[in-house]
Amino acid sequence: MITLYGVYRSRASRPLWLLAETGTPFTHVPVIQAYRLADAAAADAPLNTASPAFLGINPQGQIPALVDGDLTLTESLAITQYLARKHGGTLGPATDADAALMEQWALFAATAVEGPALEILYTQGAGGDKTPEGQAAIAVNAEKLRRPLRRLQGHLSRQDWLVADRFTVADINTAECLRYAQGHPSLLAEFPAVKAWLERCQARPAFQAMWAARLAEPE
């Protein structure tokens, strides 16, 4: 039985979305980030990323983590890739070329998209979009995203999905990384094919179920 550690308000959203797509049975252990707690070491603290029990699963103290038999994985994109291959059906690769492309898009999302997208999210979350310094930081990170977004725009102008013209784990991984920049007031409007693709991804019932569970968690 698969055991997935992590809360919805984390990168665990990626494998949780995929598992919702496939209907694969799993055990969910909600491990919260230690930095969100007043005292992560308190006797009554919930299971968190600094808890000795969880550090035995991932000594790095980060979520998500997945245990499947003797296998432990501690990187969200590796977890989604594994689940797609083992349980994903059409969400996983049908050929070696599919597998290579899915890995490529995961690396693209992690290296070209996630960093600046997160900076936009964090700056907005801290109210920086209301200060000149914060607005400048958002503009810098939006510019960093324009190059990968131009690549996505060209690709998605020719087909609806990233790999094999069907919804796959590549779409989940890339959409979840790009989601962090979705609050930018105008960036995605510059790339209409990307915006339409992200809306298609997020209209899926499995995403909607994952998002509802995320919103139900305490902030």
Q: Are residues 144 and 183 located together in one domain of the fold?
A: yes
What's the predicted TM-score (pTM) here?
A: 0.97
Comparing CA positions, the residue from 106, 77, 73 lying closest to residue 15 is 77
Phi, psi dihedral angles at 15 (to 5 degrees): -65, -30
Q: Are residues 101 and 87 located together in one domain of the fold?
A: no
Helix or strand holding residue 39 (H, E)? none
* Per-residue confidence (pLDDT) for residue 32, from 0 to 100: 98
The answer to the question of residue 218 being in a domain is no
Q: Which domain holds residue 176?
A: 96-207
Distance (Å, rounded) from C-alpha 169 to C-alpha 209? Answer: 17
Could you tell me the two tokens for 48? Answer: 């968190």
Q: Are residues 80 and 32 located together in one domain of the fold?
A: yes
* Per-residue confidence (pLDDT) for residue 134, from 0 to 100: 94
The answer to the question of residue 147 being in a domain is yes
Q: Are residues 86 and 100 located together in one domain of the fold?
A: no
Mean residue pLDDT of the chain comes to 97
- Which of the four pLDDT bands, split at 50, 70 and 90, describes residue 219? confident
- Which of the four pLDDT bands, split at 50, 70 and 90, describes residue 187? very high
Could you tell me the two tokens for 109? Answer: 């999302």
> CATH number for the domain including 197?
1.20.1050.10
Per residue in 94-106, pLDDT (tens digit) is 999 999 999 999 9
User: Which range among 62-71, 123-132, 182-191 shows the weakest confidence by mean pLDDT?
Assistant: 123-132
The answer to the question of residue 213 being in a domain is no
Q: Are residues 151 and 186 located together in one domain of the fold?
A: yes
CB-CB contact of 121 with 54 (8 Å): no
Number of domains in the chain: 2
* Per-residue confidence (pLDDT) for residue 128, from 0 to 100: 85
Q: In what order do the strands lie in the sheet with 2-5?
A: 26-29, 2-5, 65-68, 71-73
CB-CB contact of 5 with 31 (8 Å): yes
